[in-house]
Amino acid sequence: MNQHTRIDLKPIPFIDVAAQRRRLGQSVDDAIARVTTHCQFILGPEVKQLEKDLAAFCGARHAISCASGTDALELVLLAREIGPGDAVICPSFTFCATAEVAALLGATPVFADVDEATFNMDVASLERAVAAARKQGLKPKAVIPVDLFGLPADHDAIAKVAAAEGLFVLDDAAQAFGATYKGKKLGTIGDACATSFFPAKPLGCYGDGGAVMTNDDELADRIVSLRVHGFNKDDKYDNVRIGITGRLDTIQAAILIEKLKIFEDEIVARNTAAARYNAALADVAAVPLVPEGYTSVWAQYTLRLGPGRRDAFVAAMKERGVPTAAYYPKPLHRQGAYGHFPAAAGGLPVSDRLAAEVISLPMHAYLDEPTQARVIEAVRAALKS
């Protein structure tokens, strides 16, 4: 490919937030204008409306919006009074926030390995992580399975171990809101579910945002209080617990109400794009697996390349104007702030291998066929070279 053709090609966005913005058009402008007219910027009427819509969308009794996906995770652990001496089991192959919230509260994250085929928590390793926690004198209190890249974890298998070990299950669905597991939408699985509305997530807002879903009335009450400094609902100047400033802005709620209306449609489009990648790449690369009875919302479309191939692949893709991203190049147990925390006995070899071998391709609901054909052609060429 010469310099000239490269300049002629429009750069391919990794996630095309602008295309979605064009589709939403005036509806989002109007929604924002309503908020800047009524001026209830904090916990305005749109926040309640969004919470109703989110709960209805996934079938949970409660949806409590908050300031980020990280806050959503933290609010649940705070509500459970998890702290020093407690162990919270989570995968190592995830975004840092999953483990960060446990550490921030003085609890100890304990790392489990993930499954080679789904990249999600390996249940045998979860059991070993519980044993590792006990061996260190920690009380295993909770497990945070992650629905990585939009694909649900094996929630039935995790629930079995959790029941046997007395663990609270907090589903980290930051990347997977809208996905289903055996006919149930995430948000209704586990004791509580946290999601994120960071712009790059499948359902993103125009800033930071998140939500907790739960069917537990008492837990929901506590989270509503903790989200605003631990207020007493009968006397707001009597704070009854130590909380955070964790509200979702009304403007973000107004935007999310409009975006939720097209979300099902976008999930279909993401699945269409993923199916096109699968069909065109399965003969040359390890394409993502979606087990029977699961659906994904494709937060990422991730290939596994095999050892030692990623750098050359990334360079070859870049040469052809196609952006890629390595999620995640370092598992948490190899990172500076997390390396000293305990892990399941036998180490986390799958997390280590995946971190070295995975690469994500452009993926969003507005990936049209010609653009995708360019990506596919680039992948096939890059893998041959």
Ligand X SMILES: *Cc1c(COP(=O)(O)O)cnc(C)c1O
Quote the CA–CA distance of 247 and 162 in Å, as a whole number: 30
* Among positions 171, 172, 191, 249, the unique one binding ligand X when judged by CB under 6 A: 172
Phi then psi for residue 224, to 5 deg, are -60, -40
If one asks whether residue 111 binds ligand X (CB under 6 A), the answer comes out as no
Of 65, 68, 250, 324, the one binding ligand X (CB under 6 A) is: 68
What is the C-alpha separation between 152 and 147, in angstroms, rounded? 4
Q: Which stretch binds ligand X (CB under 6 A): 24-32, 90-98, 160-168, 218-226?
A: 90-98
- Phi/psi of residue 184, each to 5°? -105, 140
- 88 near ligand X (CB under 6 A): no
The residue whose Cβ lies closest to ligand X is 69
Torsion from C-alpha of 372, 377, 383, 385, nearest 10 degrees: -150
Query: Is the Cβ–Cβ distance between 174 and 200 less than 8 Å?
Result: no
CA gap 100, 146 in Å, rounded: 13
Q: What is the closest distance, in whole angstroms, from the C-beta atom of residue 244 to ligand X in the complex?
A: 13
For residues 170 and 214, what is the distance between their CA atoms, to the nearest angstrom? 10
Residue 113 Cβ, how far from ligand X at the closest point, in Å?
A: 16
Query: Can you tell me which of 95, 111, 168, 301 binds ligand X, judged by CB under 6 A?
Result: 95
Residue 351 is a binding residue for ligand X (CB under 6 A): no
Number of residues that bind ligand X (CB under 6 A): 15
Q: Which H or E element spans position 85?
A: none
Burial class (CB in 10 A: 0-12, 13-18, 19+), 149: buried
Does residue 130 touch ligand X according to CB under 6 A?
A: no
Q: Does 210 bind ligand X (CB under 6 A)?
A: yes
When binding is defined by CB under 6 A, the residue of 65, 196, 225, 372 that contacts ligand X is 196
Binding residues for ligand X restricted to 132-171, rule: CB under 6 A: 146
- The span of 8-16, 93-101, 154-162, 331-339 binding ligand X (CB under 6 A) equals 93-101
Residues 218, 81: Cα–Cα separation, whole Å: 13
Kindly state whether residue 198 participates in binding ligand X, applying the rule CB under 6 A.
yes
Tokens of 84: 């020093």
Is residue 175 a contact point for ligand X (CB under 6 A)? yes
Summarize as ranges the residues that interact with ligand X (CB under 6 A). Answer: 68-70, 94-95, 97-98, 146, 172, 174-175, 196, 198, 208, 210
